[in-house]
Structure 1
Amino acid sequence: MENLVKDFLNQKRFAVIGSFRNESKYAYKILKTLLSKGYEVYPVNPRLNDIEGIKCYKNISDIQYSVDVVNIVTPPLITESILKECLRKGIKRIWLQPGAENQAAIKFCQDNNMKVIYGICVMLESLKEKEIL
Protein backbone atom coordinates (compact mmCIF):
# COMPACT_ATOMS: atom_id res chain seq x y z
CA MET A 1 0.00 0.00 0.00
CA GLU A 2 2.94 2.35 0.70
CA ASN A 3 4.01 2.40 -2.97
CA LEU A 4 0.43 3.03 -4.04
CA VAL A 5 0.18 5.99 -1.66
CA LYS A 6 3.43 7.42 -3.06
CA ASP A 7 2.14 6.97 -6.61
CA PHE A 8 -1.10 8.79 -5.78
CA LEU A 9 0.63 11.63 -3.92
CA ASN A 10 3.10 12.13 -6.78
CA GLN A 11 0.19 13.10 -9.04
CA LYS A 12 -0.77 16.75 -9.58
CA ARG A 13 -4.55 16.99 -10.01
CA PHE A 14 -7.09 15.76 -7.46
CA ALA A 15 -10.87 15.87 -7.53
CA VAL A 16 -12.46 15.78 -4.07
CA ILE A 17 -16.08 14.68 -3.90
CA GLY A 18 -18.14 15.29 -0.79
CA SER A 19 -19.78 17.90 1.41
CA PHE A 20 -17.99 21.23 1.77
CA ARG A 21 -20.72 23.12 3.63
CA ASN A 22 -18.50 24.05 6.56
CA GLU A 23 -14.97 23.70 7.87
CA SER A 24 -15.83 20.67 10.01
CA LYS A 25 -16.62 18.50 6.96
CA TYR A 26 -13.83 16.13 5.94
CA ALA A 27 -14.14 16.98 2.25
CA TYR A 28 -13.52 20.62 3.15
CA LYS A 29 -10.50 19.69 5.29
CA ILE A 30 -9.10 17.49 2.52
CA LEU A 31 -9.59 20.26 -0.04
CA LYS A 32 -7.69 22.72 2.14
CA THR A 33 -4.92 20.23 2.97
CA LEU A 34 -4.31 19.30 -0.66
CA LEU A 35 -4.33 22.94 -1.75
CA SER A 36 -1.81 23.79 0.98
CA LYS A 37 0.46 21.02 -0.37
CA GLY A 38 0.44 22.55 -3.85
CA TYR A 39 -1.97 20.22 -5.62
CA GLU A 40 -4.52 21.37 -8.19
CA VAL A 41 -7.84 20.46 -6.59
CA TYR A 42 -11.30 20.34 -8.15
CA PRO A 43 -14.11 20.14 -5.58
CA VAL A 44 -17.22 18.25 -6.67
CA ASN A 45 -20.67 18.68 -5.13
CA PRO A 46 -23.93 18.94 -7.10
CA ARG A 47 -25.39 21.53 -4.70
CA LEU A 48 -22.57 24.10 -4.68
CA ASN A 49 -21.25 26.58 -7.24
CA ASP A 50 -18.07 27.51 -5.41
CA ILE A 51 -16.17 27.09 -2.17
CA GLU A 52 -14.47 30.26 -1.00
CA GLY A 53 -14.05 31.39 -4.61
CA ILE A 54 -12.95 27.99 -5.93
CA LYS A 55 -15.25 26.67 -8.69
CA CYS A 56 -17.19 23.62 -7.53
CA TYR A 57 -18.19 21.11 -10.19
CA LYS A 58 -21.56 19.35 -10.23
CA ASN A 59 -20.00 15.99 -11.15
CA ILE A 60 -16.76 14.46 -12.39
CA SER A 61 -17.85 14.74 -16.02
CA ASP A 62 -18.10 18.54 -15.72
CA ILE A 63 -14.38 18.89 -15.00
CA GLN A 64 -12.80 19.83 -18.32
CA TYR A 65 -9.28 19.15 -17.05
CA SER A 66 -7.44 15.87 -16.70
CA VAL A 67 -7.90 14.42 -13.20
CA ASP A 68 -5.17 12.16 -11.81
CA VAL A 69 -6.82 11.08 -8.54
CA VAL A 70 -10.39 11.15 -7.28
CA ASN A 71 -10.74 11.36 -3.51
CA ILE A 72 -14.21 10.29 -2.41
CA VAL A 73 -15.79 11.40 0.88
CA THR A 74 -19.37 10.21 0.44
CA PRO A 75 -21.60 7.46 1.85
CA PRO A 76 -20.89 4.08 0.21
CA LEU A 77 -24.08 3.97 -1.87
CA ILE A 78 -23.20 7.32 -3.46
CA THR A 79 -19.58 6.18 -3.85
CA GLU A 80 -20.67 3.33 -6.12
CA SER A 81 -22.33 5.66 -8.64
CA ILE A 82 -19.33 8.03 -8.55
CA LEU A 83 -17.01 5.14 -9.41
CA LYS A 84 -19.02 4.40 -12.56
CA GLU A 85 -18.62 8.02 -13.61
CA CYS A 86 -14.87 7.86 -12.92
CA LEU A 87 -14.61 4.77 -15.10
CA ARG A 88 -16.45 6.50 -17.98
CA LYS A 89 -14.04 9.45 -17.70
CA GLY A 90 -11.01 7.13 -17.66
CA ILE A 91 -9.85 7.98 -14.13
CA LYS A 92 -7.85 5.06 -12.75
CA ARG A 93 -6.71 6.29 -9.30
CA ILE A 94 -9.40 6.27 -6.61
CA TRP A 95 -8.90 7.17 -2.94
CA LEU A 96 -11.86 6.10 -0.81
CA GLN A 97 -11.77 7.93 2.50
CA PRO A 98 -12.63 5.88 5.60
CA GLY A 99 -16.42 5.54 5.63
CA ALA A 100 -16.81 6.03 1.87
CA GLU A 101 -15.92 2.46 1.02
CA ASN A 102 -17.77 -0.81 1.04
CA GLN A 103 -16.90 -4.19 -0.46
CA ALA A 104 -18.92 -3.50 -3.62
CA ALA A 105 -17.02 -0.24 -4.27
CA ILE A 106 -13.64 -1.86 -3.68
CA LYS A 107 -14.56 -4.80 -5.91
CA PHE A 108 -15.78 -2.45 -8.65
CA CYS A 109 -12.40 -0.70 -8.65
CA GLN A 110 -10.49 -3.97 -8.71
CA ASP A 111 -12.68 -5.48 -11.44
CA ASN A 112 -12.14 -2.40 -13.62
CA ASN A 113 -8.36 -2.17 -13.16
CA MET A 114 -8.59 0.99 -11.09
CA LYS A 115 -5.91 1.59 -8.49
CA VAL A 116 -7.74 1.99 -5.19
CA ILE A 117 -6.69 3.13 -1.73
CA TYR A 118 -9.11 2.66 1.16
CA GLY A 119 -9.03 2.57 4.93
CA ILE A 120 -6.48 5.39 5.26
CA CYS A 121 -6.86 9.16 5.15
CA VAL A 122 -5.28 11.24 2.40
CA MET A 123 -4.68 14.14 4.82
CA LEU A 124 -2.53 12.06 7.15
CA GLU A 125 -0.69 10.35 4.31
CA SER A 126 0.01 13.64 2.50
CA LEU A 127 1.49 15.09 5.67
CA LYS A 128 3.71 12.04 6.17
CA GLU A 129 4.74 11.86 2.52
CA LYS A 130 5.68 15.53 2.21
CA GLU A 131 7.86 15.23 5.32
CA ILE A 132 9.69 12.28 3.77
CA LEU A 133 10.22 13.86 0.32
Structure 2
Amino acid sequence: MCLFHIVNSKGILFVKYSLLTVEIYDNIMELGGIVLNTISNMLQARTWAVIGASDNKQKFGYKIFKCLVDNGLEVYAVNPGVSELLGQKCYASIKDLPTKPEAVDIVVPPRHGEQIIRECAEAGIRNIWLQPGADSEELIKIGQQLGLNVVHHACIMVELNK
Protein backbone atom coordinates (compact mmCIF):
# COMPACT_ATOMS: atom_id res chain seq x y z
CA MET A 1 0.00 0.00 0.00
CA CYS A 2 1.39 3.42 -0.97
CA LEU A 3 0.35 6.53 0.95
CA PHE A 4 0.88 9.87 -0.73
CA HIS A 5 0.34 13.38 0.52
CA ILE A 6 -0.94 15.67 -2.21
CA VAL A 7 -0.03 19.23 -1.34
CA ASN A 8 -1.72 22.02 -3.23
CA SER A 9 -3.30 25.40 -2.54
CA LYS A 10 -6.29 23.70 -0.90
CA GLY A 11 -4.18 21.94 1.69
CA ILE A 12 -3.11 18.34 2.14
CA LEU A 13 -5.02 15.35 0.81
CA PHE A 14 -4.01 11.82 1.75
CA VAL A 15 -4.35 9.25 -1.04
CA LYS A 16 -3.79 5.49 -0.76
CA TYR A 17 -3.03 3.19 -3.67
CA SER A 18 -2.19 -0.49 -3.63
CA LEU A 19 -0.47 -0.19 -7.02
CA LEU A 20 1.04 2.99 -8.37
CA THR A 21 0.75 3.19 -12.14
CA VAL A 22 2.10 5.87 -14.46
CA GLU A 23 -1.46 7.10 -15.02
CA ILE A 24 -2.14 7.43 -11.28
CA TYR A 25 1.24 9.15 -10.78
CA ASP A 26 0.44 11.66 -13.55
CA ASN A 27 -2.97 12.34 -11.99
CA ILE A 28 -1.37 12.94 -8.59
CA MET A 29 1.13 15.36 -10.12
CA GLU A 30 -1.72 17.28 -11.79
CA LEU A 31 -3.36 17.75 -8.39
CA GLY A 32 -0.46 19.87 -7.23
CA GLY A 33 2.55 17.75 -6.49
CA ILE A 34 3.57 14.68 -4.63
CA VAL A 35 5.27 14.32 -1.29
CA LEU A 36 7.10 11.04 -1.43
CA ASN A 37 6.33 9.13 1.73
CA THR A 38 8.84 6.30 2.02
CA ILE A 39 12.54 5.84 1.50
CA SER A 40 11.99 3.76 -1.62
CA ASN A 41 9.66 6.38 -3.08
CA MET A 42 11.96 9.27 -2.20
CA LEU A 43 14.78 7.47 -3.97
CA GLN A 44 12.74 7.86 -7.17
CA ALA A 45 13.46 11.61 -7.10
CA ARG A 46 15.71 12.53 -10.04
CA THR A 47 16.84 16.00 -8.91
CA TRP A 48 18.52 16.60 -5.56
CA ALA A 49 20.33 19.29 -3.64
CA VAL A 50 22.95 18.36 -1.05
CA ILE A 51 23.05 20.95 1.72
CA GLY A 52 26.49 20.83 3.28
CA ALA A 53 28.24 19.52 0.18
CA SER A 54 31.99 19.60 0.75
CA ASP A 55 35.13 19.61 -1.35
CA ASN A 56 36.87 17.61 1.40
CA LYS A 57 36.87 13.99 0.17
CA GLN A 58 36.86 12.72 3.76
CA LYS A 59 33.55 14.40 4.65
CA PHE A 60 30.12 12.94 4.09
CA GLY A 61 29.03 16.10 2.27
CA TYR A 62 31.49 15.13 -0.48
CA LYS A 63 30.75 11.39 -0.40
CA ILE A 64 26.98 11.87 -0.59
CA PHE A 65 27.20 14.41 -3.42
CA LYS A 66 29.49 12.08 -5.39
CA CYS A 67 27.27 9.05 -4.70
CA LEU A 68 24.19 10.85 -6.04
CA VAL A 69 26.10 12.05 -9.13
CA ASP A 70 27.53 8.56 -9.69
CA ASN A 71 23.97 7.19 -9.59
CA GLY A 72 23.07 9.38 -12.56
CA LEU A 73 21.00 11.92 -10.66
CA GLU A 74 20.87 15.66 -11.27
CA VAL A 75 22.49 17.08 -8.13
CA TYR A 76 23.12 20.60 -6.89
CA ALA A 77 25.81 21.26 -4.29
CA VAL A 78 24.89 23.83 -1.65
CA ASN A 79 27.54 25.32 0.62
CA PRO A 80 28.37 29.03 0.87
CA GLY A 81 32.04 28.18 1.53
CA VAL A 82 32.61 26.10 -1.61
CA SER A 83 32.59 27.47 -5.17
CA GLU A 84 32.85 24.24 -7.19
CA LEU A 85 32.51 20.52 -6.57
CA LEU A 86 33.37 17.78 -9.07
CA GLY A 87 33.34 20.35 -11.86
CA GLN A 88 29.91 21.68 -10.93
CA LYS A 89 29.02 25.06 -9.50
CA CYS A 90 28.31 25.06 -5.78
CA TYR A 91 25.48 27.37 -4.67
CA ALA A 92 25.43 29.48 -1.52
CA SER A 93 21.85 28.62 -0.56
CA ILE A 94 18.69 26.87 -1.66
CA LYS A 95 17.40 30.22 -2.91
CA ASP A 96 20.26 30.40 -5.43
CA LEU A 97 19.51 27.10 -7.18
CA PRO A 98 18.62 27.38 -10.89
CA THR A 99 15.70 24.94 -10.50
CA LYS A 100 13.74 23.48 -7.61
CA PRO A 101 15.01 20.00 -6.73
CA GLU A 102 12.54 17.22 -5.99
CA ALA A 103 14.42 16.35 -2.80
CA VAL A 104 17.09 17.77 -0.50
CA ASP A 105 19.69 15.81 1.44
CA ILE A 106 20.86 17.67 4.55
CA VAL A 107 24.40 16.97 5.76
CA VAL A 108 24.97 19.75 8.30
CA PRO A 109 24.83 19.77 12.11
CA PRO A 110 21.31 19.92 13.58
CA ARG A 111 21.87 23.48 14.86
CA HIS A 112 21.66 24.67 11.22
CA GLY A 113 18.79 22.39 10.26
CA GLU A 114 15.76 24.44 11.27
CA GLN A 115 16.66 27.37 9.01
CA ILE A 116 17.36 24.99 6.10
CA ILE A 117 14.10 23.09 6.58
CA ARG A 118 12.14 26.36 6.67
CA GLU A 119 13.92 27.57 3.50
CA CYS A 120 13.00 24.29 1.79
CA ALA A 121 9.36 24.72 2.78
CA GLU A 122 9.33 28.33 1.54
CA ALA A 123 10.86 27.20 -1.77
CA GLY A 124 8.20 24.52 -2.20
CA ILE A 125 10.61 21.63 -1.68
CA ARG A 126 8.61 18.96 0.12
CA ASN A 127 11.06 16.04 0.39
CA ILE A 128 13.82 16.25 2.99
CA TRP A 129 16.40 13.60 3.84
CA LEU A 130 18.18 14.21 7.15
CA GLN A 131 21.42 12.24 7.20
CA PRO A 132 22.42 10.53 10.46
CA GLY A 133 24.10 13.21 12.55
CA ALA A 134 22.09 15.96 10.84
CA ASP A 135 18.80 14.80 12.32
CA SER A 136 17.14 15.49 15.65
CA GLU A 137 13.67 14.89 17.03
CA GLU A 138 13.07 18.65 16.95
CA LEU A 139 13.98 18.92 13.25
CA ILE A 140 11.83 15.93 12.35
CA LYS A 141 8.90 17.51 14.18
CA ILE A 142 9.43 20.91 12.51
CA GLY A 143 9.53 19.30 9.08
CA GLN A 144 6.38 17.33 9.72
CA GLN A 145 4.59 20.42 11.10
CA LEU A 146 5.49 22.23 7.87
CA GLY A 147 3.88 19.41 5.88
CA LEU A 148 7.18 18.03 4.60
CA ASN A 149 8.11 14.43 4.05
CA VAL A 150 11.14 13.81 6.24
CA VAL A 151 13.37 10.75 5.99
CA HIS A 152 15.64 10.35 9.01
CA HIS A 153 17.83 7.75 10.71
CA ALA A 154 18.86 6.44 7.29
CA CYS A 155 21.86 7.08 5.05
CA ILE A 156 21.09 7.76 1.40
CA MET A 157 24.35 6.10 0.29
CA VAL A 158 23.35 2.86 2.00
CA GLU A 159 19.82 3.01 0.61
CA LEU A 160 20.98 3.73 -2.96
CA ASN A 161 23.35 0.78 -2.90
CA LYS A 162 20.85 -1.83 -1.67
Normalised by the length of structure 1, the TM-score is 0.91
C-alpha distance in 1, partners of 2:38/2:53?
26
C-alpha distance in 2, partners of 1:21/1:32?
10
Moved more, 21-30 or 90-99: 21-30
Cα deviation, residue 32, structure 1? 0.7
Contact 2:47 2:102 in 1 (8 A): yes
Q: Percent of aligned positions with the same letter in both sequences?
A: 41
* Residue of structure 1 aligned with 2:52, choices 2, 18, 31: 18
2:120 equivalent to 1:86: yes
Cα deviation, residue 66, structure 1? 2.1
In structure 2, relative to structure 1, the CA distance for the partners of 1:71 and 1:86 (3 Å cut) is: same
C-alpha distance in 1, partners of 2:141/2:39?
19
Contact 2:80 2:93 in 1 (8 A): yes
What stretches of structure 1 move > 4 A for 4+ residues in a row? none
* Residue of structure 2 aligned with 1:47, choices 72, 77, 81: 81
Contact 2:106 2:131 in 1 (8 A): yes
**Structure 2: gaps (5+ residues):** 1-36
C-alpha distance in 1, partners of 2:119/2:109?
16
2:62 alignment partner in structure 1? 28
Cα deviation, residue 22, structure 1? 1.1
User: Which structure is larger by alpha-carbon Rg, 1 or 2?
Assistant: 2
Length, aligned pairs only: 126
Which residue identity does 2:59 align to in structure 1? K
Cα deviation, residue 21, structure 1? 3.1
Which residue identity does 1:30 align to in structure 2? I
* Residue of structure 2 aligned with 1:113, choices 144, 147, 159: 147
Higher relative CO (Cα under 8 Å, sequence separation at least 6) belongs to 1
More helix by share: 1
Contact 2:132 2:152 in 1 (8 A): yes
| SS, match of residue 125 in structure 1 | helix
1:71 alignment partner in structure 2? 105
Contact 2:94 2:119 in 1 (8 A): yes
1:131 alignment partner in structure 2? none
Contact 2:83 2:89 in 1 (8 A): yes
Output the aligned Cα RMSD.
1.0
C-alpha distance in 2, partners of 1:123/1:60?
22
